[in-house]
């Protein structure tokens, strides 16, 4: 199956699954699951690539809203600005949240 066919099927399955939901999550987001991250005031810091620990591998997004736009027991979604004027949703795994100070 082509990637387009896979994407269309996934989208259709998602639409069917959330048709009765009051406020369904967006399917449009930057996937940062698997990366260590920390929230500090109005920014999200994350270490990239996966497994990186040094501060030379530390990146950040500015939060457009103080709180998450969506979350469940495993994942959290924020609406962010990448510092170049682009805004988008980003998802992190709660299991990878760090308590380090940056």
Chain segment 51-68, per-residue pLDDT in tens: 888 888 999 999 999 889
Tell me the pLDDT of the chain averaged across its residues. 92
What confidence category does residue 96 fall into, taking pLDDT thresholds of 50, 70 and 90?
Answer: very high
Three-state secondary structure call for residue 65? coil
pLDDT tens, residue by residue, 16-33 = 998 898 888 888 899 999
38 phi, psi to nearest 5 deg: -150, 140
- Cα dihedral 31/33/38/41 (nearest 10): 30
Indicate the SS3 state at residue 8.
Answer: helix
Task: Specify the residue for token string 């988008």.
Answer: 88
pLDDT at 7 over 90: no
Considering only CA atoms, give the Rg of the chain. 15
- Hey, what are 48's tokens? 């990239």
Residues above pLDDT 90, as percent of the chain: 66
């Amino acid at each position: 199956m082509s990637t387009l066919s896979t994407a269309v099927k996934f989208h259709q399955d998602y639409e069917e699954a959330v048709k009765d939901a009051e406020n369904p999550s967006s399917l449009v987001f930057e996937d940062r699951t698997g990366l260590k991250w920390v929230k500090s005031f109005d920014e999200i810091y994350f270490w990239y690539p996966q497994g990186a620990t040094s501060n030379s591998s530390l990146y950040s997004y500015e939060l457009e809203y103080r709180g998450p736009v969506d979350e469940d027991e495993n994942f959290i979604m924020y609406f962010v600005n990448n510092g170049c004027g682009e805004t988008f949703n980003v998802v992190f795994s709660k299991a990878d949240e760090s308590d380090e100070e940056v």
